[in-house]
Structure 1
Amino acid sequence: MPGGRLTHEERQHIATGLAEGLGYTEIGRRLRRPASTIMREVTRNGGPYGYGADRAHRATQHRARRRKQAQPPAPPVPDSGHGRDPQAVQDFTHFFTALLEQQGLPRMMARVLACLALTDSGTLTAADLVQRLGVSPASVSHAITYLEQQGLLSRERIPGTRRERYVIDDDIWLRSLRASLQMNDALAAASQHATEILGAATPAGTRFESTTEFLLLVSESLRQVTEQWQQSRAARSPAR
């Protein structure tokens, strides 16, 4: 099925179809376009009785030029000082955001987290995030709420004001790992319960029993890793 913008020739076919009394579905079928595309095209360009192919094509080109001219300037690269290459920082920001998305974070949440992670202070206000990311305050607020629930950041009051700032620290991934550990423990307990209900000798029960063993092994490994990390940080702390 064709995609992208309608061509001038397609608009002429639409005008012809309307003149013949065809509905949006039939016109879309002939052009191999969704009926919703035809309906939007006709509605924004004069309606079924006022649609003209040439006028619609010129109007679409004009709207496209206006949108291009109205695009806001690119947001500044965060923390590009300290002799850093601004382009390298920008490129890594895109890469890291995509990596977070691959790990399951929704795009806006990934953008906010990456923006915070790449600041030296690890602290930004809502206004900072809106300006740097070029998004709406509502988008930032929604992302912050989600990330806070996941334990990936915290919020604190700016002294002497009613404003808040959002903070990440060195323990961001430790908290995330602990959240994963809690979920893993819950799954292991549920799998053990399923084994008891289904019977360990049955195919389904055997599957859950194997799952329980695996998840318990994962939980033990995660606990050892977190303990080793905490011991390592404690050993280094006097030297700071």
Structure 2
Amino acid sequence: MPSESAEPSASPVDRAAERLAAQFTAIGVPRMSARVYAALLTSPQGALTAAEIGERLLVSPATVSKAVQYLVQVELVHRGSVPGTRRDRYELGKDLWAEMFGFRNRWLRSFADTTDECVEVVGGEGADAGARLAKLRDFSLFAASEMASMQERWKQAQSE
């Protein structure tokens, strides 16, 4: 079975992709999904088949399948097909950065919803734990709002 990590003799592009993957892992993307995402980002067309991903990362088809499943689920990668074959092709979206920040924004809002539910469970905002959770909820909603505003400003800057 292939190794699950980059070889020391990896190309400069592969080493750069591993550094990107480490950054994505640091913000919570599962390690193998982060490696697949970085491989797509650094590929010439921004798209690879599962076999190409496995060859590039030196991982098994099952590992690739699990990693891309996560990326498709969170809408960072789109599944397409290779014309004339039954193979899937995984590709980045057209508005890559908006999709990436949209992913984080959706996570922040979901996190805020979860913390809001927990506030009541721990005794409401009057309890110490509830107050901490309420602050976390409020910050998450604030950050999500700011991120949405930033995305709009980015779109405007790109059109100018």
TM range (shorter): 0.7 to 0.9
3-state DSSP of counterpart to 2:20: helix
1:151–1:172 CA contact under 8 A, matched in 2: no
Indicate which of 149, 155, 158 corresponds to 1:224: 149
Residues 137 and 218 of structure 1: is their aligned pair in 2 closer, same or farther, counting only changes over 3 Å? Answer: same
Report what 1:35 is aligned to: none
Q: Which amino acid aligns with 1:157?
A: S
RMSD, aligned CA: 2.7
Is 1:215 the counterpart of 2:140? The answer is: yes
Q: Distance in 1 between matches of 2:79 and 2:133?
A: 40
Report what 1:148 is aligned to: 72
Residues 213 and 140 of structure 1: is their aligned pair in 2 closer, same or farther, counting only changes over 3 Å? Answer: closer
Residues 195 and 222 of structure 1: is their aligned pair in 2 closer, same or farther, counting only changes over 3 Å? Answer: same
Q: Distance in 1 between matches of 2:14 and 2:118?
A: 48
Residues 216 and 88 of structure 1: is their aligned pair in 2 closer, same or farther, counting only changes over 3 Å? Answer: same
3-state DSSP of counterpart to 2:85: coil
Is 1:114 the counterpart of 2:38? The answer is: yes
Superposition deviation, residue 212 in structure 1: 3.3
Is 1:98 the counterpart of 2:22? The answer is: yes
The alignment's TM-score, normalised by the length of structure 1, stands at 0.54
Report what 1:82 is aligned to: none
2:93–2:99 CA contact under 8 A, matched in 1: no
What pairs up with 1:53-68 in 2 under 5 angstroms? none
3-state DSSP of counterpart to 1:154: strand
Is 1:206 the counterpart of 2:131? The answer is: yes
Is 1:179 the counterpart of 2:103? The answer is: yes
Residues 189 and 131 of structure 1: is their aligned pair in 2 closer, same or farther, counting only changes over 3 Å? Answer: closer
Which runs of structure 1 show a deviation greater than 6 angstroms over 4 or more consecutive aligned residues? none
Q: Which amino acid aligns with 1:117?
A: L
Report what 2:81 is aligned to: 157
Report what 1:126 is aligned to: 50
3-state DSSP of counterpart to 1:95: helix
Q: Distance in 1 between matches of 2:113 and 2:20?
A: 34
Residues 91 and 221 of structure 1: is their aligned pair in 2 closer, same or farther, counting only changes over 3 Å? Answer: same
1:130–1:137 CA contact under 8 A, matched in 2: yes
Q: Distance in 1 between matches of 2:120 and 2:52?
A: 53
Is 1:166 the counterpart of 2:90? The answer is: yes
Residues 103 and 204 of structure 1: is their aligned pair in 2 closer, same or farther, counting only changes over 3 Å? Answer: closer
For these two proteins, the number of residue pairs brought into alignment is: 152
Unaligned runs of 5+ in 2: 1-6
Superposition deviation, residue 141 in structure 1: 1.4
Unaligned runs of 5+ in 1: 1-73, 78-86
Is 1:89 the counterpart of 2:8? The answer is: no
Q: Distance in 2 between matches of 1:202 and 1:107?
A: 37
Residues 206 and 111 of structure 1: is their aligned pair in 2 closer, same or farther, counting only changes over 3 Å? Answer: closer
Q: Which amino acid aligns with 1:228?
A: R
